[in-house]
A and B are shown apart, each in its own frame.
Chain A
Amino acid sequence: MVESKRDFVDSFDEVKLICEAKGGNLSSFEMLVKSYQKKIYYLAYRMTKDHDASDDIAQETFIKAYYSLQKFKEGYGFFPWIYRICMNLAINYLKRQKFTVSESEAFPQMEKKEAVGFDPLNILVGEERMGKIENAIEKLPPPFKAVFVLKVYEDLSYEEISKTLNISKGTVMSRLFRARERLIKELKEVI
């Protein structure tokens, strides 16, 4: 089955499954879902840091893909296609989230006190540092974050990111530049 990490060219099996799914065969589509479910879920998780949101986004990605299969052209890569769907959903989710206040934002002091009470000092220092990095990544604007996640966690090349997000290579480079610049600026005290 299709398990290679960055398979931008569909394998023979995958093309066959896609053709069958296009014809309305749900079992074939289910096979495709099984192949990519983890990648899609973790991609969504890297973006949202929330299990429920990632679950929703991952499922919605496959549902959208199924209903848009007729528009998909074989040979163009199923993997970057569903990656793109997932990233768009995740970016939209994050944009919506900007207008809601998270619990940690609403009660930052309370959370901190709880953490101090339960963790030994040495673990705390490491976790605090990690937490700050995580926070800094989370604060990135969604389009910057998307490029950063695809580059750092998915290890995609500039070209692959460009295909996945449907943006130019130059835009990929500039967004990555800005994302890294922000992170370093934000984490100056920690690193």
Chain B
Amino acid sequence: MKCEDFDRLFYLYYDKKLDEEKSKEIEAHLLECQRCAKELEALASVEKEAKDIKVQKPEDAYWESFSQRVRNKIILRKKKPFGSKIKSFFESLTTISPSKLKLAASLATLVLVFIIGKLYIDYRIAGLERMRYPAPSKVEIASPQVKEEEKKEITAEEQKVVPQKKIEAKKVTKPTAKVEELKPAKEAGTGLEKEIKEMSPASKEEKMADMMKASPEVTTQAPRVTAKTAMAPKETITAKPSEPFELYEVAEVTGHPPSKILIFADSTMKTIGYEIEGVGKISYISENDTLISPDSLRKIIEVWKNFIDKNPKDPWIDEGYQQVATDYLLLWKITKKKSEIENGIELIERYSKLTKTEPVKQFLKKTEKELKSLKKK
């Protein structure tokens, strides 16, 4: 046997826990190895002397009264009122013990880790958002006065139709803008609008062509449409403004089941755009948005038509019906093509039968009527 084996086994040998064979091996090793013999001797000596350590023996009186004292304490604790139990519980809370310190330290660490983790995750998410929606920009062609007038018009007419009550403004971190930040853009837009107004139709087209060159996705927008742009990547069929602009507050749809559309509104709760699941973001179109290009308008109509066909039970389908109607009205104003208006009338007629919302039905019928009268003219 080697000394290493002895070191491993000699405690068991000392406690007589080894079998006969192993015990004999150890005994043989002890005869040969002085170091190991001394080690065993040391252990025996320590334990023997430990047993000899004198114990302070209490007096007989102590033993005689011991059980009585225990009994008294038991009775005392039994009678202890509930209030004092609570008091002692709170006292135990206020006294600092090592276990409590450990617990408090672990809890504090956990809370700290959680807070740091949360901050880090928020920071990362914000970073991703910035990457996803980089430096938004916009051409604001609306003058503040025009906007104010429009607001009045819309409150008078459109708000009856658009189910605004279903929109619950909910500030979301997605679009990062504040209304105050808009001011310079608005001012810039005012100048641009004047410039465009003063132009001849031919010059207008030239100006628009220039804007398109500057930003390929730019389409002209009427004042009402406060461009949505940078939020939508390739699939977006929308105006792509060239000046820095951040606006959106997102109004989430409260319909049930959750809608496939997200409606974007500005700070006054005016709808400015949509995000349609699987399609992307498109602008809100009003009948005054005459500066929009016919092709963009046709694309928007197609998007809405697809959405309506694929999601007939979507809670926000009425939004689609109205948009299609408005878009056809606008398309007529821009192109004056009879074939297109006929398709529109047919479609609006169908939609007015499908919708179950009375104000929407009325709006569709009114548009249909208007289109028919325009066609006659």
Contact = CB atoms under 8 A, between A and B. Distances in A.
Q: Report if A and B associate in a common complex.
A: yes
Interface of A: 26, 29-30, 33-34, 37-38, 41-42, 45-46, 51, 55, 58-59, 62-63, 66-67, 95-96, 98-99, 129-130, 133-134, 137, 151-153, 158, 173, 176-177, 180, 183-184, 187-188, 191
A26 B77 CA distance: 13
A29 B50 CA distance: 33
Interface in B337-374: none
A159 to B, nearest CB: 11
A33 B66 contact: yes
A30 B67 contact: yes
A58 B15 CA distance: 29
Contact of B70 (A62, A95, A153, A173): A62
B98 A133 contact: no
B97 A96 contact: yes
Interface in B52-77: 52-53, 55-56, 58, 63, 66-71, 73-75, 77
Interface of B: 11-12, 15, 17, 39, 42-43, 45-47, 49-53, 55-56, 58, 63, 66-71, 73-75, 77, 97-99
Nearest to B56: A51
Enumerate the 6 nearest inter-chain pairs by beta-carbon distance, A residue then B residue, closest first: A33-B67, A62-B70, A30-B67, A191-B42, A37-B66, A34-B67
A42 to B, nearest CB: 6
Given A95-B98, A96-B97, A177-B11, A184 B70 contact: no
A96 B92 CA distance: 14
A151 B74 CA distance: 31
B39 A152 contact: no
B51 A45 contact: no
A151 B280 CA distance: 77
Contacts of A153: 50-51
Nearest to A132: B49
Nearest to A61: B70
Given A63-B74, A96-B98, A184-B46, A133 B53 contact: yes
B70 A59 contact: yes
Given A26-B71, A95-B98, A58 B52 contact: no
Given A96-B98, A153-B51, A180 B43 contact: yes
B72 to A, nearest CB: 10
Contacts of B74: 26, 29, 63, 66-67
A152 B50 contact: yes
B247 to A, nearest CB: 61
Nearest to A176: B11
B15 to A, nearest CB: 8
B50 A63 contact: no
A134 B74 CA distance: 34
A82 to B, nearest CB: 12
Given A33-B66, A152-B47, A184-B39, A130 B53 contact: yes
Contacts of A99: 98
Contacts of A158: 15, 17
Contacts of B17: 158
Given A59-B70, A95-B99, 19 more contacts: A29-B74, A30-B68, A30-B70, A33-B70, A45-B55, A67-B77, A95-B98, A133-B49, A133-B53, A134-B50, A152-B47, A152-B50, A152-B51, A153-B50, A158-B15, A173-B12, A184-B43, A188-B42, A191-B42
A170 to B, nearest CB: 12
B377 to A, nearest CB: 96
Contacts of B67: 30, 33-34, 37
Contacts of A63: 70, 73-74, 77
Given A30-B71, A45-B56, A184-B42, A58 B66 contact: yes
Nearest to B7: A181
24 contacts: A30-B67, A30-B70, A33-B70, A33-B71, A42-B55, A45-B55, A45-B56, A51-B58, A62-B70, A63-B70, A66-B74, A67-B74, A95-B99, A130-B49, A133-B49, A134-B50, A137-B50, A152-B47, A152-B51, A158-B17, A173-B11, A176-B11, A180-B11, A191-B46
